[in-house]
A and B are shown apart, each in its own frame.
Chain A
Amino acid sequence: MSYRPSASLKSVASTLAELISNGSRDEKAIEQLLGQLAANENVTPAEEYREMTAAAAGNTDIGIWQRTDEDGKVYYRRNVHKQLEWGLWASVHEIPPKGNKRRILLFGESAARTVFYDPGFNLAMELESIFAGITDMADVEIIDLARTSMLMRDLLPLMKASIALEPDAVLVFAGNNWVFQLHEQGYDYQQLLEIYQQQEMEGIKAFMEAEMKKIVIEGLSQINTTFIAQQTPVVFIIPEFNLVDWKSHELERILPALPDTRTAAWLAAREVAEQTDLQCNPVAFAAAAREMVAADPSNPYGYELLADYYVSVNQLEEARKCLETARDTILFNRSSKSMPRRLKVIRETILSHAQDYGITTLDMEEVFKSAYDGQLPDRRLFLDNCHLTLDGVKAVARHAAAALTRTLTGKDFQAAGITTAGIIPGHEVLAHAHFGAAIYNMHYGQPQEIILYHCARAYALFPEIRQIMMKYIDFSTRMASTLLCKSFEELIAEENLKQYMGGYTLRHPRNNKLMDVPLINAITAVLQENGIDIEPEVTALRVQEHAVGETKTDLLTSCYSQNSYHNFFVKSKPAFFEARHTKSSFYFVGDGSRHLSFELVYRTRNNSEQATPVRIFVNGRETPVAELPATDTWTPFTFVIDQPLINKGLNELRISWPYTPQPLTIEGQMTADAFLNALFPAIGEISNLNVMSASLQ
């Protein structure tokens, strides 16, 4: 893939060049233009897929399948030139010519792909299995055109191309990825700033929701034009979200530039909430959570805590509202890796407009409420944010089969009338799904508890999965890129990662590898519970690969400074580490035999003499190992941590930054990055953080 600068960047560069060539002394204008250029890092479109969809729109390909004419019949076979993305589609080599069977096309995203089970089990298989047991539907085949990471702009051309498959009906299970369409289209950031200044985050939210609504209506309109207008019925499954078990990441909880004293209020309320036992003092807990919501309504954390309270007092509808609001806070663009989700505005827009476009809807929120007696969706239905468990898939499949049966037969047929149990995948498939979920939850910063849960389920279902877990530990812990590791190569060669989208999605950008510590710790704990002690082995490998020695180890390297793939939403990243929340954590590995010396070059955004100092802690100890003054100039600082405080193996250095309110100021030209940097200001920055053996200094 190659990335090109946007066209707008060229015109900015030209304006700058003209100013310079004219001998302009307007330093402010020049500085603004330079800032604008710096802020506009290249957009990184998935060009390979764009090419694919362009091809689909312009020629006869359908997704990865290429048209082949043989003996007067039309086959679609996988295109070897698109082999790199085969793992994102159904593992089907050929789509045969339409025969006597009625044909239903399945479109959708990774949830429809049945990620983590596929190709061992998927929604299309389950539907065919169900149809086989329904009178009048046994002659139905499902053509599975769902693709992992399908975006709306790619879905609609694919639908148009698929007309050639002569569908009798269409099933769409999409919407989780539609929010990305919103982020892709760009905005007038001056307008957003004005909205924020007048109406704060509520105004931004209303604006974003209005934009999202337009996108959804346009999508429905195109589905209507493509299928309904051609007399092909469409059933649309509106996804649900794992409200209970998918938590916001700390980067999604950073504070915006709040007016007045609300920053302090939010921070104080958070401290109260985190220190209050919900069971012992629910009223104080709820009051603190409400204060957080009041101080920063754009922040998911307050809503999540308030939902905990409502759940504790069995007010599930109130809890649902809180969790839905928390879910929808990704409209505020804090993290570039806020995961797919169906927003409230998407559901409501589909429900209110689908009928106008002749589209039948199946609302999973209502289906799950009904099936689970109004309980909130959680790990029983979801493996992560939006990918369904076996039970979840089966519930969706039964209701979708019923809706399609009604559509194709005209008969009143309900899901309750389905008698078949469908497909029952083997324990190995189920175990792989849970292990895949553990990986995914970890990469997107979910709590240790849920990672542990999925690892435990995986092992309980299929203890042999331990071999795969051990290889995972091996390639994750090594410094070498994952793709180069022998253990990873073996997993690919033996097809042990095929349920994790073929395994290739575990590749990481160069110089951006994670150590996957939470997952490795979870695996270690699960095996320990089952009488297998791998701790010494893991520690030895960590020491071998990462132990701090006589040369400097750079703790800003991704494997030490990152624990998930969350990144602040801006496109242009500075060449130094930025902290936007109060705690920054860094791993380092000790060999247990030496004092270690740390070099830090840092600055904060607050240099007042009264400011709280920057504090540095090690391994969760309450007493800081160093205290540094707040300063807004780059300042070097060195400190030593004595050997007794350092574990053999993994250690954690935590920096606690002082947080003070900051005015909303836009530096230079208004761009997306300038807007976001101003809205969510960095509070601490580090240009160097090195550690080495102290004894040889």
Chain B
Amino acid sequence: MDFPDSLGLLYSTITSYLGFGVNDGEYKVMGLAPYGNPLYTDKIRALITEEGKGQFRLDMKYFDFLAGKRMYSDYLSELFGRPPREEDAAMDQFYIDVARSMQKVLEEILIAKASYLYETTGEENLCMAGGVALNCVANGQVLRNTPFRQLFVQPAANDAGGAIGAAALAHVELTGSRPRKEKLQHVYLGPAFSAGEINKLLKATSIQYTDYRGNRSGLLEHTASKLNEGKVIGWFQGRMEFGPRSLGSRSILADPRSPLMRDRINAMVKKREGFRPFAPAILDKRATEHFDLDHPSPFMLETCQVVSPLDLPAITHVDGSARVQTVHRETNERFYELLRAFDRLTGCPILLNTSFNIKGEPIVCTPEDAVRCFITTDIDCLILGDFILDREENNLELLKLLLMHDVVRQSGITHDVYTFV
């Protein structure tokens, strides 16, 4: 496929038509789709000319992203018979059905592409990259509907993955040899901060906190206990994840069994659309008891059906699916032990796991980012390495007011059109 005949740009165009931001709203379309019916697949297909083997061309009559102002032309509204949805407008069924239709066509194209690739190569393993490869619903469909036995998606498959290519190129230029071929075990590749550094930060502030250095089991048991009480926890441990998913290093955690938890987190931290589900993290060895999953899913890049005997409303999507992360002792021991502690306390080896950030901001990276997020949201407790900060033990109002004065320099990427910079 050559530019501009891009599956990603097609999906982003519909994302924009549905009133979500380009580059940051595509996953909302995916989350919205199960609530709708695929009534408009013919309209979506009218946007492209299929050429077999999963190949297609965009009918540029409907697209305007080359002009740099917006993704779609007026013909798209004509085609659907409805104007684009305004960003903050109510979400009526028509737009939900468009989302479902887009998702369905996407899945069909991907299945066709993958099938062609299988026929051509005979290989059993499929690797995918690019922002579209983060569409875990479609990935699940590809795996279920093609002969491929295994699917691997590089966890930072979006534009951030360009860094891997740059590093590989530098490696080749500097050493003259190819990078070693080894299985990617984890994505905990970002910065880490020592207990000393975190303590130094906390000591500079007026925040009251408890020091659990040398008492890991105490920290885990206290955290599990708070989760069981229905508290929402900011979890900041070790090296940060590379890529768009929080996988237990920079996460917001909660009890998945609570029917109120999804709305509570949306209201207190995420400030996001209620239809979007949160994801579960589960002890790897217990995954098959609760999810229709026969292989590890350490990167949260595919969905499967919830088959748990437990009622898990906070992480179960409307179609009964969930975007599972299996947690392995070998790659994230502390998170694994927390899940075990929660399991011992409750009989549930699962936690709701969502990214540790406020709407519109990136995932926290440093301890200071985490403290800022803790102060400015209503997260109940922050587990910052070996330290626990509890909102009930602090009056954070003045700090909150001060942080309102903070100068936040936001991304220059516009969300009205794909920005080629």
Contact = CB atoms under 8 A, between A and B. Distances in A.
Interface of A: 1-5, 9-11, 13-14, 16-18, 20-21, 23, 37-38, 41-42, 44, 84, 475, 478-481, 483-486, 488-490, 492-493, 504, 507-510, 544-545, 551
Interface stretch (B320-328, B338-346, B401-409): B401-409
Contacts of B368: 480-481, 484
Nearest to A16: B420
B90 interface: no
Contact of B66 (A14, A37, A475, A544): A14
Top 9 closest A-B pairs, CB basis? A14-B68, A10-B68, A480-B204, A486-B206, A478-B204, A504-B405, A42-B412, A483-B402, A13-B420
A332 to B, nearest CB: 27
B414 A44 contact: no
B295 interface: no
Given A17-B66, A507-B402, 7 more contacts: A13-B68, A14-B68, A37-B421, A480-B201, A480-B204, A486-B206, A489-B399
B417 A10 contact: yes
A510 B406 contact: yes
B372 A507 contact: no
A207 to B, nearest CB: 30
B185 interface: no
Contact of B419 (A1, A5, A475, A481): A5
B200 interface: yes
Interface in B382-413: 398-399, 402-410, 412
A663 B414 CA distance: 37
Interface of B: 2-4, 65-69, 194, 200-201, 204-206, 368, 371-372, 398-399, 402-410, 412, 414, 417, 419-421
Given A16-B420, A21-B3, A483-B405, A2 B410 contact: yes
A5 B372 CA distance: 27
B371 A10 contact: no
Contacts of A486: 204-206
Contacts of B4: 17, 21
Nearest to A486: B206
A3 B204 contact: no
A510 B420 CA distance: 26
A516 B106 CA distance: 56
Q: Which of A84, A489, A544 has the most CB of B within 10 A?
A: A489
Contacts of A551: 194
B406 A483 contact: yes
A453 B405 CA distance: 31
A41 B3 contact: no
A3 B398 contact: no
Question: Of residues B371, B407, B417, which shows the largest number of chain A Cβ atoms within 10 Å of its Cβ?
Answer: B407
A544 B196 CA distance: 10
A489 B406 contact: no
Contact of B407 (A1, A490, A492): A1
A78 to B, nearest CB: 16
A507 B372 CA distance: 14
B405 A41 contact: no
A337 B314 CA distance: 50
Contacts of A20: 3
Given A10-B68, A10-B417, A484 B3 contact: no
A298 B224 CA distance: 66
10 contacts: A3-B412, A10-B414, A17-B3, A18-B66, A475-B204, A479-B201, A480-B200, A486-B206, A488-B402, A510-B406
B134 to A, nearest CB: 22
B51 to A, nearest CB: 18
